[in-house]
Amino acid sequence: MRCVGARFCRSAKGVGVARRDCTHSDVPPADDQPEVPSMKYDDPRSLAMRPCASRRGLALMLVLVSVSVVTVLSLALLSRQQAEASLSDNIEARVNARFAAESGVELAAAIMECDDVDWRTAHIDGVLIDAYDFGGGTITVKVTDEDGDPPTEETESVVMESSASNGRLKSRRKAIVYAPKMTGDVDLDLSEFALLAQDSIAVRSSQVVRASNSPAKASSAPIRLATNSTSAGAITLGALTRIADGVAVVRGSASGAVISRSSDASELRRMSLLANEAIPVPNAPAPVMTGLSAPDQTEWVIGSGTWLVPEPKWFNNITVRWDAILEPDAACDRVLITGNLYIKNGGTFRVTRDLDLIVQGNLWMINDAVLEVVPPARLRLFVGGDILVESTSLIGISRAAADIEFVISDHDAQTYQSPEGCTIYQIPGSPRATWTFTTRSGVCGRIYAPNTDVLLNENAVLLGGIVGNSIEIDSRACVYWDPVFDTANGYTARNSPLIDEAGVLADALHLLTDLSEHAQTVVAAALAADGVLDLDSDDDDNASSRTKVVDFRWLEEEDEDGRRLNESGN
């Protein structure tokens, strides 16, 4: 064993003096030990020893490590600052390219509305704007029809693709643009609304959507539900209700709770159209009931065969049943029924030319009854009493099997028939009535009945729109609103001639008492006199090419994220 603590035994008087008599076996004899200088306890060197070489090396290593860490951190911070600067530049370039592409769509839409440019023929293989300098970059806009071909003089719906490049990044935006030719007419009949009620609208377990096979299907015009009531819950959407891209058009003074919606119903965007006034709902046009001759028999009950009405006539009551067909002849443009019209059990009232059918009493259609309108004929149906259409009965639709299948089966039209061919009016001055369409019945046309409560339920289908006192859509009924009714020149249109920016009706609209042609002409002339409507557009050289962009719907956005273009800009 070694002596405890060191080679030197500290039991001697002199510190560090080797004891020659140390008996530890591992301590060599004193003669073999080196001479060690004598050192006293009070020698200062005994309290402060000089550091060894290994400690000096450790300190140097710590300094080198510290310098390396600081260097690495500094380089990392510098690199991050450079990366952030580059990333910021890329984000700015991307945002600029995106906004430039969107601006290209807006610019092309503005060109489409120019009076002195016919965009349908001004393009080159569909390119409407070619490498236009914008914001330090360029914009190119191409338009094609739905088949991908360049537009023609008849094109109204296009796919617009705007590509923008700012020398670093590219961005592309696509939109569907519906731009019909202007007719110069102002829309006063409220056909821009899918549903408009003086009082309330309730939709439960049903849907209000666009007609998918309409020639105007590319229109992005929303489904508009409007009410003149300001009460809470004036528009109610119950469970399992679908309103595709719906807008609730209400008065500015309407309650904040004017829309009541179940949690699983579609949402409605609120649009305050007028500050305080109600949307004008004029009376229907009054039918002409003079100059009619009386038939030999005023009560007609037809049970078989085809019967013709040779000239304008009036009847007390008419019943058409089983497989019988009643058809006004070529010289007959009006039929007046002072009582009721019954069509039932497979009976058909067929309209093959433009006709005013006036029923002062009730209209009842039961069990596969059909009030058929064969295009291009148009029917104006005036009713003074109640309407009941049930059990797969049809109004305004041809007898073609595909059209009937559309209504009573899958609600998906195989052939298209415009709802503009049939309008059901309430006779002005009639008492309040109830019009019911139920049990898989169908209507192709508009319902205009401001003093009537309208009910669709039990899988009933309407291809058109409704104006009524109250409207209820229930039990899997469906309203297909056709965008062909939206002329983009009505109450909700951008830059509407009918309402100013403050939400105040044009003074001329107070002259609108009904929807007769005379009344609408008077109002249009007054609007023109006020300078808000151009009635001379039809006489203009460019009238045939004038366009109104109803709206556009974004399709997609594509950027070349982080991929810088080469110096040539390709």
- What pLDDT does 206 receive? 94
Kindly report which listed range (80-84, 292-296, 506-510) carries the lowest average pLDDT score: 80-84
Average pLDDT of 450-477?
A: 96
- Average pLDDT value for residue range 236-264: 92
pLDDT at site 557: 54
Extract the tokens encoding 413. Answer: 């039209």
Asked whether residue 213 carries a pLDDT value surpassing 90, the answer given is no
Identify whether 375 is preceded by a cis peptide bond (ω within 30 of 0).
no
Domains observed in the chain: 91-183+548-559 (3.30.1300), 189-283+460-525 (no CATH), 299-428 (no CATH)
Kindly tell me if the per-residue pLDDT of 177 is higher than 90.
no
Task: Indicate the residue type of 83.
Answer: A
pLDDT in tens, 502-558: 888 888 888 899 999 899 888 888 888 877 666 554 444 444 445 656 555 666 555
Sign of the dihedral defined by the CA atoms of residues 437, 418, 480, 224, in that order: negative
Amino acid occupying residue 168: R
**89-106 mean pLDDT:** 79
Encode burial over 520-543: b for 16+ CB neighbours within 10 A, e otherwise: beebbebbbeeebbbeebeeeeeb
Instruction: Provide the pLDDT for residue 18.
Output: 43
Q: Answer whether 483's CB lies under 8 Å from 219's CB.
A: yes
Residue 118 is predicted with a pLDDT of 82
Work out the pLDDT band at 343, boundaries 50, 70, 90.
very high
Residues 34-67 pLDDT 10s: 554 554 444 544 444 455 555 666 777 777 788 8
Residue 145: predicted pLDDT = 85
- Give the model's pLDDT for residue 538: 43
Dihedral in degrees, nearest 10, Cα atoms 321, 322, 323, 329: -10
CB 300 within 8 A of CB 318: yes
State yes or no: pLDDT of 430 exceeds 90: yes
The rounded mean pLDDT for the chain is: 80
User: Token match 């064969």: residue?
Assistant: 374
Q: Which residues pair with 21 in a beta bridge?
A: none
pLDDT of residue 192: 93
- Split at pLDDT 50, 70, 90, the class of 337 is very high
Q: Which of 237, 239, 230 has its CA nearest to residue 257? A: 230
pLDDT in tens, 381-405: 999 999 999 999 999 987 664 454 4
Burial 429-451 (b: 16+ CB within 10 A, else e): ebeebebbbbbbbbbbbbbbbbb
